[in-house]
Amino acid sequence: MLRAALRGVIVNKLRLVLTALAIVIGVAFVAASFIFTDTINARFETLITDISAGVDVYVRPIPPETGNDLVEFGSIPDEILAQVKAVPGVRVAEGAVAGYAQFVGADGDPVGGLGPPTLGFSWTTTSDLNPMTIAPDNGRAPTGPGEVVSDLGTAETAGFGLGDTVTILTLGPPEQFEVVGLANFGSEDNLAGATTAAFELEEARRLFDLEGSYVEISVAAEEGVDAETLAADIDAATGGEFDVKTTEAANADQLSEIGEALGFLNTALLAFAAVAVFVGAFIIANTFRIIVAQRTRELALLRAIGATGGQVTRLVVIEALVVAVIASVIGVFGGIALALLLAALMNAIGFNLPEGPLTIAPRTVVIAMTVGIVVTVVAALLPARKAAKIPPVAAMHEELARTGRKPLRRRAAAGAVVTTGGVGLLLFGLFGSVANPLLLVGIGALVTFLGISILAPLAARPVASTIGWPLPLLFNITGLLAKENTARQPRRTASTASALMIGVALVVFVAIFAASIKSTINESIFDNFRADLNASSTNFQIGISPTFAEQLAELDEFDTVSSLVFDTASLEEGGTDIIVVDPLLAEEVVNLDPSPGAFAALESADGVVVSSTEMEDNGWVVGDTIVMGFPKEPETQMEILGTFGNADFGQYILNRDFYNTVYDNPFDSLVLATVAPGVDISEARVAADAIAEPYANVQIQNKDELVAEIEGQIDALLQLIFALLFLAIVIAILGITNTLALSIIERTREIGLLRAVGMTRRQTRRMVRWEGVIIALFGAVMGTGIGLFLGWAVVLALADEGLGSFAIPWGQIAVLVVASGVAGVVASIYPARKASRMNVLDAIAYE
């Protein structure tokens, strides 16, 4: 039986190659997502271990529970260092400060800031404790004001060298520094793509506004002293006020933070893998169904000479297994290639990963292979079971094999149940309250796809006839034959089209989602902003230096200049977004729709203005007191002073003066300015640009530019998603090629007859080509329908989160449908050629 199965694989190898490709792509995605995240984890682990090599214990401020923790470092008073040094077992200890520092390149643009952080810190003079080292001919450590040491990698990208003068952005206005040294981190010339600037301690304290304090103390233990014990001793000596950890524990924390950040990437990659595998399963099931149908006689003969139904099933399953194993192995290698490609891609967009080998864990190989094999075998199981039902007499009479189809009524019932279940799960995930809505929505979408694909054969005949109706008019008999051919095997047409349906549905969904976000943002920007110009930071970790708004306000060209800060605070039930305003000026520049007197009250009393929806949800009234948590004040009684209607930016509004007392963030998120009466906007803009010039991370925009920029960012993300979904569509196109090629073989006689009575090769090709187009369009139409529904449901579900408008990008959808038709043409190139080259005599030979 095994030999017969192997023979089957070899005989069918061409058609199986196409099938295998579907498995290969799915498995490759699964493998790549694990390899990629494992590799990044391992490389960071090496890097972090390298950097902390000489340190045994770290003393750090206890991290604030709320607030933007990239900005708020907290601090350790100066005298603590002496206390730490006095603890028995401490060989050496040194304190350091850190903050935001960004180099400005020779071209005037800030260096980095779009991915990895832009770090500034004080130079650690104890070389054992210093993660940075300066090679002998690369200069020296910074020893006083105006000196900086950069990492080699940054110097290279930004194009500066030893002895050069560079501009660096920090809290205050930009300053000039001399590059006195170029350092490396262990074996790396940079810190995972971050840019680093090291200053002499007092200089760093001045720059980061941390006079008299540290943000970290590194400790090396004396020989033979246990790090755990030492950490405990230090913790006791400093009164438990700080976060004292062994290097091992501190590193583990950092790695788990990196892991969490990467978890998102892993999830995204696995989601695409799921789509690829799911689409692949359709192709596999379809191929085996056709193979079984084609080999009816052979299988019946096996039954006739005594093989049991179970043995015939096993024969087909073993064939599937052989294909699955080969394809999965190739898929794992494909995954390695894909992981390398991803790493290269990350580097290309400026997110430098640490160097090192790929990590291919046994777990990765096991999971990827298992997915490939299980999916293939399960997909082949249904056709295999059908093979067992072939009666032995079918060896003599082919027609007999074509019986035993599931009645349409049962199919309709099954399809309706599955579809309803899928839609139910989806809607429950979207509108119900569940722990993991995303997973539920994903599963719901997959089940819906499955249900629709069960129903699709019922629709295949009418839909194919509808899509194909112009063909007979346009192309006469070839058009009529193409139309009829797609309608005659509704099951096959439908399952082939279903594979494409999934890809198209996802693309349509993503396009709708993006269009809705864009339209919402567009509306909200024009609704929300009253200012003529706004300034924002190009570095997402850091806002705009407060001196910028001050300088801008001094210009006569502007009437009102006011800034906003977006941050987070904690409530009893979790974190929330807050808006920080200057109550006197906010109304001039931004439309937050406050209740009468709310901002006046906010100006004169410490308290909070809460969005109307939040008030309603919690049953609060103005005058109530709520408890809010801020970095410096974990539990603060806040009186509700008023309400506001426009919650696009956040649910709670604080006064900037109050904010400054409970947060450590001097930066503005947005600076908004209205032009003085009689002043031309473009004139004012020139003046503002001049002020912004030295602040390399500040960009000034009007509303149109702001909208265009945000749309550009969404489009960039969209293209990435489309590129990945494109793979699913490619698999589906392979499926169409596969199905058509197999139908051509099945219809050898028919095509031969057509050729005998006078159909030219060209007409034959045209006939097959239109078949491909009809199948593709069928898939595109179903996919568009489901995509529209998905998009509508998700946008509706997110209406509460501020996704206010539902937009359908008809243009993009039209392009997609046309492109699907073209894909159908491409998919049919090979089968059409094959059909036109068919030998007429083979076709009419009769044994």
Partner 1 sequence: MLEDTAANGAAASMRNGVKIYGEGTAIVRALDGVSADFARGRFTAIMGPSGSGKSTLLHTLAGLDNLTEGTVHIGDTELGSLKDRELTILRREKVGFIFQAFNLIPTLNAEENITLPLSIAGKDPDEAWFNEVVSAVGLEDRLDHRPAELSGGEQQRVAAARALVTRPDIVFADEPSGNLDSKAEAELLAFMRRAVDDFSQTIVMVTHDPIAASYADRIVFLDDGDIVDEMVDPTVDSILEKMKHLGE
- Residues engaged in binding partner 1 (CB under 8 A): 476-478, 480-481, 484-485, 487-488, 749-750, 753-763, 840-841, 844, 846
Nearer to partner 1, 206 or 749 (CB): 749
Q: Which H or E run contains 326?
A: helix 309-348
Q: Which is nearer to partner 1, 466 or 763 (CB)?
A: 763
For residue 179, the one-letter residue type is V
Yes or no: say if 376 and 216 are a contact pair by the CB < 8 Å rule.
no
140 DSSP 8-state letter: -
**Whole-number CA gyration radius for the chain:** 33
Q: Is 124 helix (H, G, I), strand (E, B) or coil?
A: coil
CB of 774 to partner 1, least distance (A): 13
Listed in sequence order, the residues at least 6 apart from 634 whose beta carbon sits closer than 8 Å to its beta carbon are 65
User: Quick check: 479 and 770 in contact, CB under 8 A?
Assistant: yes
Nearer to partner 1, 708 or 844 (CB): 844
DSSP secondary structure, 25-93, as one string? HHHHHHHHHHHHHHHHHHHHHHHHHHHTTT-SEEEEEPPPSSS-TTT----EETHHHHHHHHSTTEEEE
Confirm if 688 and 161 have CB atoms less than 8 A apart: no
Q: How far is the CB of 762 from partner 1 (least distance, A)?
A: 8
Q: Decide: 326 and 318 in contact? Cβ < 8 Å.
A: no
- Least distance to partner 1, CB of residue 484, Å: 4
**Minimum distance, C-beta of residue 844 to partner 1, in the bound complex (Å):** 5
Residue 411 beta carbon to partner 1: minimum distance, rounded to whole angstroms? 22
Least separation in angstroms between residue 756's CB and partner 1 is 6
Q: Least distance (Å) from partner 1 to the CB of residue 824?
A: 19
d(CA 759, CA 838): 12
Q: In the complex with partner 1, which residue's Cβ is closer, 201 or 775?
A: 775
Strand partners, 652: 578, 610
CB 826 → partner 1: shortest distance, Å? 25
Question: Smallest distance, Å, CB 455 to partner 1?
Answer: 23
Least CB distance to partner 1 at residue 409 (A)? 22
Closest separation between CB of residue 288 and partner 1, Å? 24
Q: Read out DSSP for 376-403?
A: HHHHHHHHHHHHHT--GGGGT-GGGGG-
Q: Specify which residues 150 forms β-bridges with.
A: 182, 197
Instruction: State in angstroms the smallest separation of the CB of 481 from partner 1.
Output: 7
Distance of CA 780 to the CA centre of its chain: 25
Task: Compare residues 485 and 496 and give the one whose CB is closer to partner 1.
Answer: 485
Q: Please identify, using beta-carbon distances, which residue of 122 and 836 lies nearer to partner 1.
A: 836
Nearer to partner 1, 85 or 749 (CB): 749
Q: Which run of H or of E encompasses 98?
A: strand 98-100
| CB of 415 or CB of 752, closer to partner 1 | 752
414 burial type by CB count under 10 A (0-12 exposed, 13-18 middle, 19+ buried) = middle
* Residue 757 per-residue DSSP state: T
Q: Would you say 290 or 307 has its CB closer to partner 1? A: 290
Taking residue 603's Cβ as centre, other Cβ atoms within 10 Å add up to: 15
CB 646 within 8 A of CB 593: yes
Q: What is the CA 631 to chain-centroid distance, rounded?
A: 30
Smallest gap, in angstroms, from Cβ of residue 836 to partner 1? 9
Q: Which two tokens stand for residue 535?
A: 């300034």
Q: Which is nearer to partner 1, 708 or 840 (CB)?
A: 840
Distance, CA of 435 to CA of 525 (rounded, Å): 33
Rounded to a whole number of angstroms, the minimum distance from the CB of residue 743 to partner 1 is: 12
Residue 806's φ and ψ, nearest 5 degrees, are: -105, 115
Least Å from the CB of residue 820 to partner 1: 24
In angstroms, how far is CA 684 from the centroid of its own chain? 39
CA distance 133 to 204: 18
Q: How far apart are CA 449 and CA 457, in angstroms?
A: 13
DSSP-derived 3-state class of residue 100? strand
Closest CA to 180 of 207, 206, 203: 203
- What's the closest the beta carbon of residue 759 comes to partner 1, in angstroms? 5
What does 518-576 look like in DSSP terms, one character per residue? HHHHHHHHHHHB--SEEEEESSTTS-B-HHHHHHHHT-TTEEEEEEEEEEEEEETTEEE
Residue among 60 and 755 whose Cβ is closer to partner 1: 755
509 with 518: CB under 8 angstroms?
no
**Dist. CA 531–CA 701, nearest whole Å:** 11
With a CB cutoff of 8 Å and minimum separation 6, the contacts of 281 are: 375, 376, 378, 379
Tell the smallest beta-carbon distance from residue 761 to partner 1 (Å).
Answer: 6
Closest to partner 1 by CB, 420 vs 760, is: 760
Residue with smaller CB distance to partner 1, 206 or 833: 833
- Looking from the CA of 481 toward its CB, the CA atoms found within 13 Å total 17
| Beta strand pairing call for 175-185 and 213-214 | unpaired
Q: How far is the CB of 476 from partner 1 (least distance, A)?
A: 6
Quick one: which of 808, 800, 807 has its CA closest to 430? 800
Smaller CB distance to partner 1: residue 411 or 761? 761
**What DSSP state is assigned to residue 138?**
G
Of residues 205 and 834, the one with the C-beta less far from partner 1:
834
Strand duo 216-221 + 57-61: pairing: antiparallel
